[in-house]
Amino acid sequence: MSHIKNHKKLSIVNLVTNFGIKGLIFVTTLGLSLGIISRLWMRSIAFVKEFSLSGTLLILFVFTALAFFQGLPFVIKSNKYLKFIKVLQVISIMLLFGGAGSSMAPFIIMGGFVLWYPLHKNIKLLFSILSVLNILYVGYLSIYVELVSKYPTQFIDIVLGRGLFGFFGLFFIYCSVLWFIEGTFVNFNNTKTLVKSKNPD
């Protein structure tokens, strides 16, 4: 069996490469599950709990497509379509940034480079700092601007309850997306090694 160096055992690349179609199905199911969690999280923190079926299906599709396309290259036995799939991988990430999701773009893009791409340590440090500042800024907008300023007399109920739950839920979703997008940042020059199937023993 081919082995992928410099990747953690539970990375999406390792899972799909080692388990093939079954690994891809598992990863895609995880993407769908994250979409469900994201939708439930949105509903739990919303003041007006009105969500359309089309909006829910779109969110589930976006997260499922993200997971599927991130893992797809590592079950393909030919390099013929890998550049095209690379484009689909990037598009699947961009779909996350529609509407309110645009606030997660800096964290996801820079965080992806920090985790999955070989950069100089100083650049990684800079991207790490900017990523943290991004999510703190989103938390500030969500908790202070949207809650504290509007509901100053309901601090414990609104801010500590809904606000902090919303922020940590947001952080969980962001970090989960970072795990999924590893496939986009893998150097395709190494693809022949990455997509090798099991060798007969």
pLDDT score, position 147: 62
* One-letter-per-residue 3-state SS of the chain: CCCCCCCCCCCHHHHHHHHHHHHHHHHHHHHHHHHHHHHHHHHHHCCCCCCCHHHHHHHHHHHHHHHHHHHHHHHCCCCCCHHHHHHHHHHHHHHHHCHHHHHHHHHHHHHHHHHHCCCCHHHHHHHHHHHHHHHHHHHHHHHHHHHHCCCHHHHHHHHHHHHHHHHHHHHHHHHHHHHHCHHHHCCHHHHHHHCCCCCCC
pLDDT score, position 171: 86
Spell out the per-residue pLDDT of the chain, length 201, in tens: 343 444 456 788 888 888 999 999 999 999 999 999 999 888 777 766 667 888 899 999 999 999 999 999 888 866 778 888 889 999 999 999 987 778 889 999 999 999 998 889 999 999 999 999 998 888 777 666 666 666 666 656 666 667 677 778 888 998 999 999 998 987 554 444 444 434 443
pLDDT score, position 91: 95
pLDDT score, position 154: 63
pLDDT score, position 187: 58
pLDDT score, position 197: 36
